[in-house]
Every structure is written in structure tokens, then in C-alpha cells.
Structure 1
Amino acid sequence: MDTPRVEARASGDVTPPRFVVGSTMHHVLVMTGTGAAGLIAIFIVDLASLLYISWLKDPSLTAGVGLATVVMFFTISINVGLMIPIGALVSRALGAREPERARRLATSGCVLMVIVASLVSIVFLALLPWILGAMGASERTYQIAHDFLWIALPTNGLMAFAMALSNVLRAAGDAKRSMYATLSVAAVTVVLDPLLIFGLGLKANGAALTINLARVAYAYVSFRYVMRHHNLLSRPRLDYAIADARPFFAIAVPAILTNIAAPVANAFFTSIMARFGDQAIAASAIIDRVTPVAFGGLFALAGAIGPIMGQNWGARQYTRMRQILKDALTFNVVYVGSVWLILYLLRVPLTLLFNAPPLTADIVQFFCQYSGLIWFFVGLVFVSNASFNNLGFPLLSTFFNWGRATLGMIPFAYVGAEMGGPQGALLGIGAGSVAFGIAAVATAFWTIRRLERQATVPL
């Protein structure tokens, strides 16, 4: 008999963890819906920031902020990789009914995440001239991106702390408060962005300052929720942090390697666009902002199924784990189809809203017409990777993400650009995602069968 369950019964704790009972589709929809609400709100105000910059009618400003966003995508992707082990380890401990262990893991995870994220921001600032130069930035575009990043990157450690706390809330099944914490970022940004960009005339630097203030709000709200409603943080201890570093980095390292595949691919795509001038870079920047708003539900879905999978693995509910994966795939089909139709219908008004010059408008409208084909298969990889990271197979996630970002993208995008310009590069990205998406899903079901045969839960 499982020891944690015996201890739980002995202590009189008969309340099951939230995700091991009830409809799996209900859990997927609730967790994804609340996650999407917070994420999409952030992405909308992020899109609004670029929209405000575009209203200044300076393509170099739009391109500069776009390049800065590509670099920040690296740091956020690393933060997400660091966040994954916190959700995986804490949800498993809660699923096995070990609250003290969950509290210790949450605390150690936050400490380790802040340290690594702060070091990452220092390294990126040191390498900034080389990074921006490699992406093909012109002189003025380079300076705009450089100034923006020197304002925003130093607070990356604070952002990491807030993200860690938000994921602790999700691991505990408190999707609603995690959403509220994320919405604090949107609330601060929507108020301060126009004030700093237009009111104080700070332009792109005003948007960067807003990012810092929004991160302060995010960290404060998340911390209050974790402490007041779940008590899942304790006083940090160096010996605990050192001891917990091994299981933490066992998941974090491959998860980081997995996540940075996307920004590496994004940087490569931006360098291809740079060959066609600032208008093409501006189009890439608009696509980079529109995509998370439109397909934010898939980002939320990938984050949502992790804690649900983790708790059911901790409780050894393998049939439910397979059903969770099936429910996630069903959501992917319906969601992508709906968003694709909306983007197709709004493709012209969207470019008019951004005052897009001719080449920029053509590229953005082309993306709206074919985005569904691209993102359906990308969504398959997202769902599968979330399963791999939370079920003890993070190297598989690394393989599929890097496979899609290299073999599945670079040659296709390069050949597409040579044959059809920027539009051909976009089609190349979609073509390269097909095989990796299908293979990733098949492998995800195989991992659950393997765990069931082993019938072990390595904590």
C-alpha cells in the first residue's frame, strides 16, 4: 500500500487532491480557460504596446521594439523552463498528499529560479551587441532595441519569482488566483503604457519602464495569494535548496533546452526577414505580437495539463492521464479552427490598425490566411511537451522542440524565402511542423503506457 496514502488516512485527511477526481475535460477547460484569460490579457496589452509604437509612424521604432521582444523571448522562455519543475514537483507531492514536502519544494524552487534568472539577464546584457548584430539590426534599430533591453532585462529575476509563485498556485489547483496574479500585469500595463509612451514622450523606453512596474505588481500579488491562501512557502534554507537542486535541475535543464528552441528559431526567422528590410522586420514584430494573442489558448493549455497530469501521476491514475491527453488534443482542434477563421476575417482591418506599409501589410495578411495550418501542428508539439515535462521524460520534450526548430524549420524557411520571399519563409515553418507534431503525440501516449507498466512514481 502506498505510504503517503496511509499517512493521509492516519492523519484524518480524506479530501482528495483536486485533479484526481471529477471530469478530466472539466479540469482541462477550467485550468486552460483561467490560464488563457491571464495570458491573453498580457499578450493583448503587449500587442497594444507595439500598436502605440506603430502609431508614431516610424518603422525603425517598430522594428527596434520587435528585435527587443525577440531577445526577451529568450529570457522568458528560460524562465518558463525553470518554472516547469516547480509545478511538476509540487503537484506530485500534493497528489501524493505530502504538503510539507510540497512547501519545501516550492520554496527551494523559487530560490533556484530567481538565482538562475538573474544570472541569465547579466549574460544577455553582456552579449547584447553581438546578439542584435547577428539578427541584422540596422544602426537606428539597434540603438532602440539596445536601450529598451537595458531598461527591461535587469528585472528578469523579479519576473522569474512572480512566475514561480504563479505556478505554485496552479500546482495547488488554484487556477483562479493564478489568473488574477497574471491579470495584474495587464492592469498595470494598460494604464501606464499610453502615459509613458505618449504622455511623457518616452516612446519605446516608456514601454520598457512599464514592463518593470508590471513585474513588481505581478510578484506582489502572487506572493500574497500563495502565503495567505495556501501557505506553500517557508523560510528559505540553503541546505534544502542545495538538496532540492538535483531534482529541480533534472527537469529544468532539459525543459530550458526545450523552451529556448522556440526563441532560437524566432531569431533565425527574424534574421531572414531582415534581408527584406525594416518593413519585413516590422511585419515579423506584428506577427510575434498577434500570434500569442490569437493562440494564447494553446500556451495556456500546455501550462494547464501539467499540474493535472502531475497530480494524477502522483495518485497513479493512468486511465485518467490518457484521457487528459485526449481532452487536450480535442481542445487543440476546436480552438485552432475557431481562431483561424477569426484571423482570416480580420486580416485587412488588422493591418490598417497598425498603419502597416505595403510590404508589412502583405506579410501579415498572408500569415493570417495560413496561420491555422501552422499552429495546429505546433499545438500538438505543445501538448506533448507538457506531458513529457511533467511525467519524467523531459529529454523527449527537448528532442521534439529542437527537432521542429531546426530540421523542421531552418531548411524549410530558408528555401521558402529563396523561392517565395517572406511569405515563402512563413509557409516553410508550417511545412516543417507536420511530422514533428504527429510524432510527438504518438510518443506522449507511449510514455503513459510505459509509466503504467512500471507503476512507480519517482519523486
Structure 2
Amino acid sequence: IGMLVNALYNVVDSIFVGNGVGEIGLTAVTIAFPIMLVMMAVGMLIGVGASTLVSLRLGENNKTEAEQILGNALSLIILCAFIMSGLGLIFLDPILRALGAEPTVLPYARVFTRIIFAGSVFMYIGFGLNNVIRAEGNPRLAMVTMLISAILNTILNPIFIFGLKMGIGGSALATVISQAVSAVWVLGHFFGRRSVLKIRLKYLRPDLDIARKIAVIGMSPFFMQLAASIVTVIYNFGLIRYGGDLAVAAMGIVNRVAMLLLMPVFGISQGAQPIIGYNYGAGQYQR
């Protein structure tokens, strides 16, 4: 349900941007979409890798190492977020031009992407560590995390775009704020009393062996998401060449509707992963 709602708010985003900014706004968001897919790929690299290891260690009744993995995952998330956002902000215009942004679209894509890059650490924390919440046996809480972000984003979008007249920048800001609230919610869970695992300062120091294990397990979803980003870029170039900005905007809408159909499948796979990992770690292979 959480994954489905998450995809739905992308559709709602498109509705607000389309009505508030117009065709050029939708084109700018579609041009920037591969960048967001790469961000999600990095989040999946760490989140899926860490959550799988956490499930295995909890199945082995090894809570200490599970907390070490959680601490390292948070450190890796923050490190990757600052590296990618720093590089993204420095080379923003060349990146957008390489993705096919025309001179008319570039200013809109620049405004949108700059805000997304600046607040990307919140997306990494919320998206990455939410997988660990699911892995420790709290799928309902993981769903609530996504619902909070989606509902808040849907509320803030029209306020910023129409009420405050912020245009496409308002849409990006609504996304960042909703992700920031989600990140605070996730961190509050791991620092609170109700979590099985705790974020402990002594485990935030990067451990190369744990980082390597996280990367090895998370590499498969990382490359799958990265491939989706590359395919989107190729589509955009073809659409720009043969159909123009309107075709790119239309494809952006189609992509978001298509995500609604894919999210239930992703939800099933993400729901099964903690159960399989926990039982594998406990030696319950038949189960």
C-alpha cells in the first residue's frame, strides 16, 4: 500500500506541475527524472543491502552486529548524499544539458533539480533506512513512513505552486520538505524506545567489511535502477529529437502512471525480503 501511494503522489505531482507551470514544467521534471532515479539507485544500494544483512543477523539472534550494520548504513547514506549533492550542484548545468535540456527548459530544470540536490540527504535517509524498519519486523510502520511523505507532499504542492506562486520550485520544495519529515520520523524511530534496533554513536564509524557486504548485496537493485535511469535518458533524447518538449512531457506522465502498475510487485518483493532473510539467518530454510 505504501509503495502504491508513493507512486500515486508522483502522479499528483505531475497534475499540479502541469496545471500550475504547464508543458515546459512537465518537460523539466521529466528531464530531471533520471537524476532522481540515480538517487533512488544509491538509496537502494545501501537500503536493500543493509536491510538484508539486518534480517540475517536478527535471524541469527545477533542484535549487536545488526546495530553495527544500521550505524554503518546511516554513515554511508550521509556520505553518499553529500558527495552526490555536492557534485550535482557544482556540475548542475552540464548534467542537465547532457540529459537533453534545451535552452527553453534549462532554467526550469535548473530550479527544480537544484532544490532536489540540496535536500537529497533527506531522501536517502528516509528511503534507505525505511528498508531497515521493514527488516526489523515493522512493515506497518514502514508503510506509515511512506504515507506521511506522500500525503504531506500532496498537501504542500498546491500551496507552494498556486498559493505562494513558487512554480516548479514550489513542487521541488514540497518534495524536499515531505522527505525531510519522513527522514525525521525514521530517525526518531531508531532513537526511540519502540525500535528493536538503535542507532548508536559508536557504530557510526565506517567499517570497511560491513560496507563491502552492504554494497555486494545492494549491487543488483542498484544496477537495475541505474539501467532504468539510462533507458529514460535514451527515451528523452529520442522524444526531444522527433517530438519536442510536448512529447517529453507526455512521456513523463506515462512513466508515472506506469509506476502505479509496477508498485504492487515491488511491494510484494520488499515485503517478502525480511521474512526470507530472517528465516534464512535462523536456519529455517524450508520455511
Q: Same fold (TM over 0.5)?
A: yes
2:287 is equivalent to residue 317 of structure 1: no
Q: 2:207 aligns with which of 218, 239, 242?
A: 242
Change (3 A) 1:195 1:246: same
Q: Which residue of 2 is the match for residue 76 of structure 1?
A: 40
Q: Which residue of 2 is the match for residue 268 of structure 1?
A: 234
- How many percent of aligned residue pairs carry the same amino acid? 25
Q: 2:121 aligns with which of 157, 160, 168?
A: 157
Separation of aligned partners in 2, 1:256 and 1:123: 19
Question: What residue identity is the alignment partner of 1:149?
Answer: T
Separation of aligned partners in 2, 1:210 and 1:239: 30
Q: Which residue of 2 is the match for residue 199 of structure 1?
A: 163
Separation of aligned partners in 2, 1:128 and 1:216: 22
Separation of aligned partners in 2, 1:267 and 1:235: 40
Q: Which residue of 2 is the match for residue 228 of structure 1?
A: 193
CA contact (8 A) 2:85 2:120 kept: yes
Larger Rg: 1
Change (3 A) 1:295 1:157: same
Cα RMSD of the aligned pairs, angstroms, is 1.9
Structure having greater relative contact order (Cα 8 Å, sep ≥ 6): 2
Q: Which residue of 2 is the match for residue 284 of structure 1?
A: 251
CA contact (8 A) 1:107 1:232 kept: no
> How far 1:110 moved relative to its partner?
1.4
Could you report, residue by residue, the CA deviation over 1:274-300 in whole angstroms, capped at 9, with x for unpaired residues? 112112101111012112223211222
Could you report, residue by residue, the CA deviation over 1:255-291 in whole angstroms, capped at 9, with x for unpaired residues? 4334311111111112111112112101111012112
CA contact (8 A) 1:110 1:161 kept: yes
> How far 1:58 moved relative to its partner?
2.7
Structure 2 regions of 5+ residues with no counterpart? Answer: none
Using structure 1 for the length normalisation, give the TM-score: 0.59
Separation of aligned partners in 2, 1:304 and 1:204: 34
2:268 is equivalent to residue 301 of structure 1: yes
Q: Could you say what secondary structure the match of 1:140 adopts? A: coil
Number of aligned residue pairs: give it: 284
CA contact (8 A) 1:158 1:216 kept: yes
CA contact (8 A) 2:75 2:204 kept: no
Separation of aligned partners in 1, 2:22 and 2:45: 35
Question: What residue identity is the alignment partner of 1:60?
Answer: I
Separation of aligned partners in 2, 1:101 and 1:311: 14
CA contact (8 A) 1:104 1:233 kept: no
Q: How does 1:380-395 map to 2 (within 5 A)?
A: none
Question: What residue identity is the alignment partner of 1:277?
Answer: G
Separation of aligned partners in 2, 1:239 and 1:220: 17
Change (3 A) 1:63 1:212: same
Bigger mean CA offset, 169-178 vs 60-69: 60-69
Question: What residue identity is the alignment partner of 2:276?
Answer: M
Separation of aligned partners in 2, 1:246 and 1:189: 35
Bigger mean CA offset, 283-292 vs 205-214: 283-292
Structure 1 regions of 5+ residues with no counterpart? Answer: 1-36, 321-459
Q: Could you say what secondary structure the match of 2:119 adopts? A: helix
Change (3 A) 1:213 1:240: closer
Change (3 A) 1:303 1:125: farther
Separation of aligned partners in 2, 1:177 and 1:283: 35
Using structure 2 for the length normalisation, give the TM-score: 0.91
CA contact (8 A) 2:21 2:168 kept: no
